[in-house]
Amino acid sequence: MERIYTESDVNQAALKGQTIAIIGYGSQGRAHARNLRDSGHDVIVGARAGGKAERTAKADGFRTVSPADAAKEAKLVALLAPDMAHRASYADDIAPNLAPGAALLVAHGFSVLYGQIAPREDIDVILVAPKGPGDLVRREYEIGRGVPALFAVHQDSTGTARDKAMAYASGIGGTTAGAIETTFKEETETDLFGEQAVLCGGASELINAGFETLVEAGYKPEVAYFECLHELKLIVDLLYEGGLAKMHSFISETAKYGDLVSGPRVINAETKARMKEVLTDIQSGQFARDWIAENEAGKKNYDAMMQADLDLPLEKVGAELRSHMAWLNTDTKAATATTQTEAKAA
């Protein structure tokens, strides 16, 4: 069993008194910045003047400066912008300004592993990757818990890179929940594979194939939507909370029997062979080369494929059905919260 690192393993002095700059104030960046500040760290946000990131960070009470000035001032720069923005951000703002002995941190190793960033030899290069979205990272921290995290060292210029990574993981709540040491290669390749073969690509294609199979057989699209997409959350929640054992303990005997006899007919040796092809493309760097080239060409193919996904009958049926689900309606949630607040005040 891989060792799980906790708070007692952290050298908190590794980042004590050092300014941490967050560049990329999206879901993860915002959560990291707020958690680090609440953990006692000095945090600034590097953001373009007049942009959304600057406005949001200022509203959250952070001092904002340009990305270049943030790199000059910080002892650790957390580059949390989207992968495809890393090359320009590092080359233009970070590399010319980050002091020798400082650290560059990423939450996903893509840009480093595939050469979008060629780090200077006199800086530490580390990774801390929470295994959850930014809002969960923040929410769990606020209630005194945390989201598990991976951490890794790509380049140890100072001899303290690993301590810095663990201290940062602690600052965002990762070692409260438990942190696991990995490598940039392992984190990147497994993350890409999980997204493509199971979590996003695999799941969405399985859902749509099931929906189309039922509709083509003459069943109502609305019923097919409920059976193939809507109820998936119930199963995923059980799996998330307690693995296969909890799922089997909550579903019916009929569902369990169907799982055992029909699951292997749908996801079989041929499916696994296709998964291995996906993994081979990732390991060889082919996926990265294709994605980088797609971005450089203006993402026309990407945009066309995305629009085709959004135009699926599954999406149109789902949008109509979800409009009747009050618990999913943001406006309804806000109105309910306001009503409850007013009732308490009264």
Q: Which positions are catalytic?
A: 108
Residues in the chain: 346
Q: How far apart are CA 85 and CA 184, in angstroms?
A: 18
Contact 105, 126 (CB under 8 A): yes
SS3 246: helix
Q: How far apart are CA 132 and CA 35, in angstroms?
A: 14
Q: How far apart are CA 195 and CA 33, in angstroms?
A: 25
The closest of 209, 196, 216 to 286, measured between CA atoms, is: 196
Give the pairing of strands 149-155 and 124-130: antiparallel
Q: How far apart are CA 149 and CA 139, in angstroms?
A: 15
**Which residues have C-beta within 8 Å of that of residue 206, sequence separation ≥ 6?**
266
Q: Which amino acid is at 340?
A: Q
Contact 70, 43 (CB under 8 A): no
Q: How far apart are CA 152 and CA 140, in angstroms?
A: 22
